[in-house]
Chains A and B, each alone.
Chain A
């Protein structure tokens, strides 16, 4: 396993483009987070925005790049035929898959920490200017607050889970392009569909199984009772999605010819 990890780490490290992707995860997440923090105004009537969730909005963009990284870890090998070499060198396919998952998780964890903490810092600097002050009852997000710490750690874990979901789906469909389309479809179509559903039960259930909505419920620090799902349960939903995708990918990787 150590050998496999070392091999996967070398591939991850030396693949042209991966450095750019990691940079893009951090830059785009912080960029969108800062833009949204600057756009949300708490001085107007009906300030109901959750400062922590607002400051971390950028992950909806960053996760798209995380998904690319996750898919390319395996699809890139199918695209170039490298997968044949990999499996010849390490015939135990479960080990290959596990090594890929571990290395990918580590890289996304590092990128996620930078992206999420950077977003939080941007929000902390920008939001008070828009009326998010303790005087308004909406203090800017701070790591001294337990709920904010949970949101930060949860969001980082969310990004790692999205990477694993993407890895699993990419292992199933093998083509990176189709894999990204599938991952982004799974992420983005639930919120769009929930938007038009009238039935309150169906609406709630759609939100509960949506990896995007349920997963990012971990960012809520206000109105927890109104959320469709609790913070940790929501993260659990994403974990189930990622686990199911990895399982399907692992089974198919063992069964199919590469």
Chain B
């Protein structure tokens, strides 16, 4: 019995052990049932959210904020716009009658020039802008952001901005004196119509301050308004010679507060005030996300950890391990065969149950009109398949810990404490965001990032902490942390299995 045929028989032997022990078959069924039950319980308390109208979506189908004051004119085919920005100031509006407005710029208030397909919210655009806190930026289609030079503008250090269109390519450049120019970025906007809108814009996102209380987040804040001064406005290309259109793009929602004029024009100098944001909407505290519908994975995880541990410790308890090792003296192969059979079975059961939970929860949500933070179908596949992979690798980790400790109770406790406890400490405890992030980088709990559907954007101020569903590692990187722990545990198990008497 050598070579691959021998390993095949070993695999079959392990599969037979798994298949014929009633407790393990029942256990896998329990894993599937608790996954469904807990997921359904998690979604049972949800109800349709606030009555906001339809949210505009950007070119990639993701929800966006698209509200700003726009001084525009049409531009047919290629051309460019150049302006000088001499100031950008802001006001945080009073949130209630007992507060007074304070003069402070939002770091991500924006003033600059924009080329946009139309005045419709969510239409493709590219813009170059100055910001109070993040210097010059070139942004396009809501999600893309490129940094230019740093520093804010003021009358003594104004900034020149230029945006030029050539076909589908839009190039943004900046200058401190209007003569020597630096390109910030060149972006391609697909499906840009022949005639676009070109002009100046100002916008200013809501002020937001989040404090972490006792395992809960408190967010306070309010609307802000930014005002910018533009001069030396120059448009090249077929843009007509007519006057500028003044549009407040906001989808009919909240406008500027009374007393603030959106646009004032005198001798070629434009003073523009705006509120809102041109940016993707991020899932903040209280948003319902896709992965919340798979919360049952935690219950299934504990069940498969128990099963994975018992897959090896019960052999020690009953002495079956000696028979196994007599039949196949190469211990590394035994361990590999066990890991493959356990991992495969757990993956298949996990995939079936997470797909079922995903489908059922989706049905319940759409039936109740619950709006979920949208995820692409690729992301949804990653979440469902990743959940199954997480369960499979965690089961193998538990088996490896079981092989090291040989005692089921300690091994289960160790595996659960390694995988689940860091998540609880990071997400629902007194730990501040910094240490919580380190827990989710270093411990196997990092793997839960495979379920994350939300995206963090540098250009959007929000609460990106583990307790609001933002993991410090990318999905597959987090999963790799769990795999590394499992590989290390398997390595330790292999060494001990070879050294020790069974």
Enumerate chain A interface residues (CB-CB to B < 8 A). 17, 36, 39-41, 44-46, 48-50, 53-54, 57, 60-61, 64-65, 67-68, 71-72, 75, 79, 175-181, 184-185, 188-189, 191-199, 201-203, 222-223, 226
C-alpha spacing A198/B295, complex, angstroms: 13
Q: How large is the interface on B (under 10, 10 to 19, 20 to 34, 35 or more residues)?
A: 35 or more
C-alpha spacing A188/B421, complex, angstroms: 7
Cβ–Cβ contact A181 & B302, under 8 A: yes
Hey, which chain B residues are within 8 Å of A68, CB to CB?
409-410, 413
Residue in A53, A177, A195 with the greatest tally of chain B CB atoms within 10 Å: A177
Cβ–Cβ contact A180 & B409, under 8 A: yes
A198's closest neighbor in chain B, by CB? B46
Q: Is the interface of A mostly helix, strand, loop or mixed?
A: helix
Cβ–Cβ contact A198 & B424, under 8 A: no
Q: Does B431 contact A (CB under 8 A)?
A: yes
Cβ–Cβ contact A185 & B313, under 8 A: no
Residue in B41, B409, B423, B428 with the greatest tally of chain A CB atoms within 10 Å: B409
Point out the residue from A64, A178, A185 that lies within 8 Å of B417, measured CB to CB.
A64
Point out the residue from B212, B314, B409 that lies within 8 Å of A179, measured CB to CB.
B409
Hey, which chain A residues are within 8 Å of B309, CB to CB?
177
21 contacts between A and B (CB under 8 A): A17-B407, A53-B214, A54-B430, A60-B425, A64-B413, A64-B421, A67-B413, A68-B413, A176-B407, A176-B408, A177-B313, A181-B303, A189-B298, A192-B295, A195-B427, A197-B44, A197-B46, A198-B46, A198-B47, A199-B45, A199-B46
Enumerate chain B interface residues (CB-CB to A < 8 A). 38, 41-42, 44-47, 211-214, 218, 286, 288, 292, 295, 298-299, 302-303, 305-306, 309-310, 313-314, 317, 407-413, 416-417, 420-421, 423-425, 427-432, 434-435
Given contact pairs A79-B317, A184-B302, A198-B45, A48 touches B423 in the complex (Cβ within 8 A): no
B212 to chain A, nearest CB (A): 6
Cβ–Cβ contact A41 & B212, under 8 A: no
Hey, which chain B residues are within 8 Å of A50, CB to CB?
214, 430
A108 to chain B, nearest CB (A): 15
Cβ–Cβ contact A188 & B302, under 8 A: yes
Hey, which chain A residues are within 8 Å of B45, CB to CB?
197-199, 201-203
C-alpha spacing A44/B210, complex, angstroms: 12
Cβ–Cβ contact B409 & A49, under 8 A: no
A52 to chain B, nearest CB (A): 11
C-alpha spacing A58/B126, complex, angstroms: 51
Cβ–Cβ contact B413 & A196, under 8 A: no
Residue in B41, B47, B410, B413 with the greatest tally of chain A CB atoms within 10 Å: B413
A47's closest neighbor in chain B, by CB? B211
If A53-B430, A177-B310, A178-B306 are given as contacts, then 16 extra A-B residue pairs at C-beta distance below 8 Å, sorted by A number, are A36-B430, A39-B432, A40-B430, A46-B213, A49-B430, A64-B413, A177-B412, A188-B420, A189-B38, A192-B420, A197-B42, A197-B45, A198-B47, A199-B45, A199-B46, A203-B45
Point out the residue from B411, B424, B427, B431 that lies within 8 Å of A36, measured CB to CB.
B431
Cβ–Cβ contact B409 & A75, under 8 A: yes
Point out the residue from B38, B47, B410 that lies within 8 Å of A199, measured CB to CB.
B47
Hey, which chain B residues are within 8 Å of A198, CB to CB?
45-47, 286, 288
Cβ–Cβ contact A181 & B47, under 8 A: no
Point out the residue from A177, A188, A193, A196 that lies within 8 Å of B408, measured CB to CB.
A177
Point out the residue from B214, B218, B313, B410 that lies within 8 Å of A223, measured CB to CB.
B214
Hey, which chain A residues are within 8 Å of B317, CB to CB?
79
Cβ–Cβ contact A44 & B432, under 8 A: yes
Q: Is the interface of B mostly helix, strand, loop or mixed?
A: helix
Cβ–Cβ contact A176 & B430, under 8 A: no
B49's closest neighbor in chain A, by CB? A198
Point out the residue from A61, A71, A72, A177 that lies within 8 Å of B421, measured CB to CB.
A61
Point out the residue from A48, A191, A192, A202 that lies within 8 Å of B213, measured CB to CB.
A48
C-alpha spacing A39/B439, complex, angstroms: 11
Given contact pairs A54-B430, A196-B295, A181 touches B305 in the complex (Cβ within 8 A): yes
A242 to chain B, nearest CB (A): 18
B292's closest neighbor in chain A, by CB? A196
A175's closest neighbor in chain B, by CB? B408
B45's closest neighbor in chain A, by CB? A199
A223 to chain B, nearest CB (A): 6
C-alpha spacing A246/B42, complex, angstroms: 29
C-alpha spacing A60/B305, complex, angstroms: 19
A170 to chain B, nearest CB (A): 9
Hey, which chain A residues are within 8 Å of B424, CB to CB?
60, 188, 191-192
Hey, which chain B residues are within 8 Å of A54, CB to CB?
430
C-alpha spacing A137/B38, complex, angstroms: 41
Hey, which chain A residues are within 8 Å of B46, CB to CB?
197-199
A216 to chain B, nearest CB (A): 10
B221 to chain A, nearest CB (A): 14
